[in-house]
Structure 1
Amino acid sequence: MNRFAIAPPRFLALALLLALLALPGGAALAQAARIKDVAAVQGVRSNQLTGYGLVVGLDGTGDQSSQMPYTSQTLANYLQQMGITLPPGANLQPKNVAAVLVTAQLPAFARPGQAIDVTVSSAGNAKSLRGGTLITTPLRGVDGQVYALAQGNLLVGGAGASAGGSSVTINHLSAGRIPGGGQVERAVPTPFLLGEHIDLNLNAADFQTARRVAQSINRALGEGMAQALDGRMVRVRAPLDPNARVAFVADIEDLPLDLPRAAAKVVVNARTGSVVMNQSVALSPSAVAHGNLSVSISSTPQVSQPGPFAPPGAQTVVTEKADIQVSQQGGALIQMAASAQLGDVVKALNALGATPQDLVAILQALKAAGALQAELEVI
């Protein structure tokens, strides 16, 4: 019997668990922060690196060369670089080799010789990279320059086995990591020591936060040291001496900051039905009616036998008898009073007895009616 029905009301409190952590009792503590928690120095960031290489030493789980010709071509090119010339028309079909894409993050201020972690992902149809070794692979930036070299044994967090046409796989076998498998070969120029100013970029654009960052710096270092240029950037006068500038930025990042109250926002995950709201969410007086619709479909097989006077060649036929039932629960009209605190909002929504999936529709309707005082974001 196949059954399609809306789940009974439950788990609403779990869907709002994170929201309950932000109740007014802990609001004052949650608003205290440092400048380094909300802003970063412009130009001080990591850079993405990528490369193409080969993983060797696989136990027959590599690429099928007949379907992935570039794996054989890459191996032939590598052997030619090692001084091994293959005869014309040689058909390489290695089962222990896989073509991979290698990615890494080059940290800010990275210097030649520094080790970085790399991630290796299969680019073909290899069954598993477990037990493989990445041969030397250059990692390039967006400018095409080589900034690091990667090589080493892969760590794959999974396992698999197959026999007789059956297979079992645990976790993901076509990707792995090499801790410290990359070595930096070139440093990335940084504008940190250039100019008379440093710019602080806020993680989220907010005029109130930008003003408070500038005020915190001016109180500690003197009036006129910092200026909020817009809702995202704060410009600070900095010393020219490199050693003094590093100490200057370290002191600025550790300055205390009183964050403004966060803008009211409700975040809805349309795929999972999760709903999270912050402590600024409020409700205006409203009335909501909610009911559940349940559709039940059952299928019963029936056998139809040929009659006594059936023509020759008549056969027994199996038919399906479908039974469809639709039921709808009544939804009483519930009055929701004005709520200025998150706890009251949660209690009002729990009173509706709605599942997280139904809650999405209710919140959208409240927003359209002007009763939900918050930004509704669907991800």
Structure 2
Amino acid sequence: MKKESLLCFLRFLLCCVMFSAPLLAKAERIRDLATIQGVRSNSLMGYGLVIGLDGTGDQTMQAPFTGQSLSNMLSQLGITVPSGTNMQLKNIAAVMVTAELPPFAHSGDKIDVVVSSLGNAKSLRGGTLLMTPLKGGDNQIYAIAQGNLLISGAGAQAGGSRVQVNQLNGGRINAGATVEREVPNDYANQKVVRLQLKESDFSLAQQISDSINSRYSGGVAIAEDARTVRLFAPSDAPSKVRFLANIQDIPVQVKVQDAKVVVNSRTGAVVMNRHVTLDSCAVAYGSLTVEVTQNNIVNQPDTPFAGGETVVTPQTDISLRDSGGSLQSLRSSTDLNAVIRALNSLGATPNELMAILQSMKNAGCLRANLEVE
């Protein structure tokens, strides 16, 4: 009997572990749910020139700013171009250079840059970006970019035929910019640090605050609103770093989020999360197709050489087709797979499904927030 009782107890523990595993899998770290307020990247932008192109650069007659930029660059190098000179260059292109300056970036750090054609260049493949200053929103130079472009596309043309794979007028330079100026940051002097949630949610903000307070005594976290959690961090910088590092790794049991259906009206894509449910309803849909066809009929004179003229008469045919329209029943569904099977049973196209979901939402059959992009 003792052996059987022990086996039953072990089976019970195994079942508990199996049923609790999905709950543990739902735990997310605070770093995945929120960011530290004020710790963010900054966008940089600059104008530059790409040289060394194999005859695929800008046509300077149609893009005069490319020639002007080249003249200004040559003048800085001590080379004077006679006024009125029309430089027909094919191996140079004007480009815009963009980059993201990460937080806490120091002078001398390397960052990636993205180079995009500004004129009418056919391809930037094989080009080299000349020294380009990158400025921030305050019009100050924070980095200098230069290097060889990496273009993922390829193309060829001959005899009026052209083959192209991917984009040829944009590329990247890995570690192509050097940081020259640091962004001022008084992070070390701040006594109060705030966590900024990625999505506004009162319950999640309070849950994060409770999870932090359960780890640290003294009420170091306070939920200020649906998106902000205030932290009372240590005063010195090393202790503050350790404090935030520990907080970001605290797991939070995320509760059930709002049911949501996102519909992209441009592409017809429909995406829904696992909390979407359906109530019992009946759906009837159909498609009305109007087709207009125009044919040109040539009418010639009956008698040759009678002085008549040939006349082209347009003839228009209009056809109307109405398909579908049958009433179909959808059962109440609380599981995502059941919802998908119920919607697929309608046999509707994505564009028709968008209209059906909107009507179901208005009728109260769709238990979810419907967002149209």
> In the alignment, does 2:259 pair up with 1:282?
no
Q: CA deviation at 1:298?
A: 5.6
* Identical pairs, percent: 53
> In the alignment, does 2:29 pair up with 1:46?
no
Q: Give 1:126's aligned amino acid.
A: A
Q: Give 2:353's aligned amino acid.
A: L
SS class of match (2:321)? strand
Q: Give 1:204's aligned amino acid.
A: E
What is the CA–CA distance in structure 1 between the aligned matches of 2:234 and 2:24, rounded to whole Å?
Answer: 34
What is the CA–CA distance in structure 1 between the aligned matches of 2:192 and 2:95, rounded to whole Å?
Answer: 43
TM-aligned CA distance change 1:42 to 1:67, over 3 Å: same
Q: Give TM-score, length-normalised by structure 2.
A: 0.88
> In the alignment, does 2:243 pair up with 1:248?
yes
Matches within 5 A, 1:1-379: 28=23, 31-296=26-291, 304-308=299-303, 311-315=306-310, 322-379=316-373
SS class of match (1:104)? strand
What is the CA–CA distance in structure 2 between the aligned matches of 1:180 and 1:374, rounded to whole Å?
Answer: 45
Q: CA deviation at 1:323?
A: 4.2
Q: CA deviation at 1:62?
A: 1.3
What is the CA–CA distance in structure 2 between the aligned matches of 1:111 and 1:341, rounded to whole Å?
Answer: 51
TM-aligned CA distance change 1:376 to 1:30, over 3 Å: farther
What is the CA–CA distance in structure 2 between the aligned matches of 1:347 and 1:30, rounded to whole Å?
Answer: 26
Which moved further from structure 2: 228-237 or 275-284?
275-284
What is the CA–CA distance in structure 2 between the aligned matches of 1:270 and 1:152, rounded to whole Å?
Answer: 41
Which moved further from structure 2: 59-68 or 320-329?
320-329
What is the CA–CA distance in structure 1 between the aligned matches of 2:331 and 2:161, rounded to whole Å?
Answer: 59
What is the CA–CA distance in structure 1 between the aligned matches of 2:313 and 2:216, rounded to whole Å?
Answer: 85
Long gaps (5+) in structure 1: 1-24
What is the CA–CA distance in structure 2 between the aligned matches of 1:327 and 1:90, rounded to whole Å?
Answer: 66
Q: Give TM-score, length-normalised by structure 1.
A: 0.87
Query: Is 1:42–1:199's contact at 8 Å kept on the other side of the alignment?
Result: yes
TM-aligned CA distance change 1:126 to 1:217, over 3 Å: same
Q: CA deviation at 1:232?
A: 0.3
Question: How far does the alpha carbon of each residue in 1:101-158 deviate from its partner, in whole angstroms, 9 at most, with x for none?
Answer: 1000111111111111111111111111111111100001001111100000111111
Q: Give 1:335's aligned amino acid.
A: S
What is the CA–CA distance in structure 2 between the aligned matches of 1:236 and 1:111, rounded to whole Å?
Answer: 26
Question: How far does the alpha carbon of each residue in 1:317-343 deviate from its partner, in whole angstroms, 9 at most, with x for none?
Answer: 666655443222342222333333323
Query: Is 1:43–1:191's contact at 8 Å kept on the other side of the alignment?
Result: no
SS class of match (1:64)? coil
Q: CA deviation at 1:350?
A: 2.1
Question: How far does the alpha carbon of each residue in 1:34-88 deviate from its partner, in whole angstroms, 9 at most, with x for none?
Answer: 1000001111111100001111111221111112221111111111111112233
Structural RMSD (CA): 2.3
Question: How far does the alpha carbon of each residue in 1:147-192 deviate from its partner, in whole angstroms, 9 at most, with x for none?
Answer: 1000001111112223333333222111111111111111112232
SS class of match (2:333)? coil
Greater CA radius of gyration, 1 or 2?
2
SS class of match (2:152)? coil
SS class of match (1:290)? strand
What is the CA–CA distance in structure 1 between the aligned matches of 2:24 and 2:355, rounded to whole Å?
Answer: 33
SS class of match (1:246)? helix
Q: CA deviation at 1:198?
A: 1.0
What is the CA–CA distance in structure 2 between the aligned matches of 1:363 and 1:305, rounded to whole Å?
Answer: 56
Q: CA deviation at 1:306?
A: 3.4
Query: Is 2:301–2:308's contact at 8 Å kept on the other side of the alignment?
Result: no
Which moved further from structure 2: 208-217 or 363-372?
363-372
What is the CA–CA distance in structure 2 between the aligned matches of 1:272 and 1:262, rounded to whole Å?
Answer: 26
Q: Give 1:314's aligned amino acid.
A: E
SS class of match (2:351)? helix
Long gaps (5+) in structure 2: 1-19
SS class of match (2:325)? coil
Q: Give 1:163's aligned amino acid.
A: A
Q: Give 1:360's aligned amino acid.
A: M
Query: Is 2:290–2:319's contact at 8 Å kept on the other side of the alignment?
Result: yes
TM-aligned CA distance change 1:255 to 1:158, over 3 Å: same
Q: Give 1:96's aligned amino acid.
A: N
Q: Give 1:332's aligned amino acid.
A: S
TM-aligned CA distance change 1:264 to 1:219, over 3 Å: same
Q: CA deviation at 1:247?
A: 1.2
Q: Give 2:354's aligned amino acid.
A: V
What is the CA–CA distance in structure 2 between the aligned matches of 1:310 and 1:326, rounded to whole Å?
Answer: 43
What is the CA–CA distance in structure 1 between the aligned matches of 2:89 and 2:305, rounded to whole Å?
Answer: 64
What is the CA–CA distance in structure 2 between the aligned matches of 1:35 and 1:119, rounded to whole Å?
Answer: 31
Query: Is 1:40–1:203's contact at 8 Å kept on the other side of the alignment?
Result: yes
What is the CA–CA distance in structure 1 between the aligned matches of 2:215 and 2:352, rounded to whole Å?
Answer: 50
SS class of match (1:366)? helix
Question: How far does the alpha carbon of each residue in 1:14-39 deviate from its partner, in whole angstroms, 9 at most, with x for none?
Answer: xxxxxxxxxxx997466321100000
Corresponding residue for residue 15 of structure 2: none
Q: CA deviation at 1:274?
A: 1.3
